[in-house]
Amino acid sequence: MHRGCTVAFVLALAVVALPPPSAAFDQICSGLRYKTNSTFDANLRHVASTLPTNASSSPVHFATAAVGDVYALALCRGDMSTSSCNFCVDEAFHDAQQVCPFDMDVSMYYDICNIRFSNQDFLPAKNNSPQNVMFISSSQILSSPSVTDRFHHLVADLLNATVDYAVATSTRWFATGELDVSHVDYFDGQFSKIYSLAQCTPDLTPAQCRACLTLALAEMPRQVFPHNSQGGRVVGERCNLRYDVFSFYIIDAMLQLQVRPGGPGQKKSTPVLAIVLPMVFVVGSLTITLVGFCIWRKKELPTEAPLIVDAENTEDLQNFESFFIDLSTLQSATTNFDESNRLGAGGFGVVYKGTLPDGQEIAVKRLSKCSKQGLGQLKNELTLVAKLQHKNLVRLIGVCLEEGEKVLVYDYMPNKSLDTILFGTCLHLNFVWCFEKICNQTYNLSFDDRSRQKQTT
Q: Which residues are documented as binding site for ATP?
A: 365
Q: Taking the C-alpha atoms of 280, 285, 286 and 288 in order, what is their torsion angle to the nearest 10 degrees?
A: 120
Rg (Cα) of the chain, in Å, rounded?
Answer: 28
Distance, in Å, from the CA atom of 81 to the CA atom of 59, rounded to the nearest integer, reads 10
Q: Could you give the angle at which helices 280-300 and 418-426 cross, rounded to 10 degrees?
A: 130
* Beta carbons of 177 and 257 less than 8 angstroms apart: yes
State the binding site.
Answer: 365
Helical ranges in 59-144 per DSSP H: 82-99
Which amino acid appears at position 319 of this protein? N
The string of DSSP codes covering 142-160 is PS-HHHHHHHHHHHHHHHH
Of 292, 253, 295, whose CA–CA distance to 271 is shortest? 253
What order do you get walking across the sheet with 239-244 strand by strand?
134-137, 232-235, 239-244, 193-200, 174-180, 255-260, 268-271
**Of all helices (H) and strands (E), which one includes residue 286?**
helix 280-300
d(Cα 248, Cα 195) in Å, to the nearest integer?
A: 8
Region for 315 from its dihedrals, namely left if φ exceeds 0, alpha if ψ lies in -120 to 50, beta otherwise: beta
Helix (H, G, I), strand (E, B) or coil at 1: coil
Buried b vs exposed e over 97-114: b needs ≥16 C-beta within 10 Å? eeebeebbbbbbbbebbb
What stretches of 11-156 adopt beta strand conformation (E)?
Answer: 25-29, 62-67, 70-76, 106-110, 113-118, 134-137
